[in-house]
Amino acid sequence: MLLARFNEQEHARLGLVIAKKNVRRAVDRNKVKRVARESFRHHRAELGNLDIVVLARRGLGDLDSQALHALFRDMWRRLIKSADKHKRTRESGPPSSHA
């Protein structure tokens, strides 16, 4: 799960919350963090000025590295799309009554 918010800086930042409750083994928690950081570095330029927090859910530690990379790639893609949409609506004028 991802949480994101625009920041005042010119680059994206990453925070990780990989709880022992959800990913039991330390080796699995470290794998998730390692893959998340690596994937974030590859997509950082596209993410703009977002603060992003990755929250681990149960079962994330059971995935292999390839599956984790694919999962993060998909999450970054959706986040970029959502952020672009939000930027366009903010820049186009005052919010509509449907907001």
Q: What is the pLDDT of residues 63-78, one digit of tens each?
A: 999 999 999 999 999 9
CATH topology of domain 2-82: Ribosomal Protein S5; domain 2 (3.30.230)
Question: What is the average per-residue pLDDT within 41-56?
Answer: 93
The helix-helix angle for 26-43 and 65-91 (nearest 10°) equals 40
- The Cα–Cα gap between 60 and 9 comes to 30
**pTM higher than the cut 0.95:** no
Continuous H helices in the chain: 26-43, 65-91
All structural domains of the chain with their residue ranges = 2-82
Specify the pLDDT at position 99.
39
Question: What is the average per-residue pLDDT within 4-22?
Answer: 94
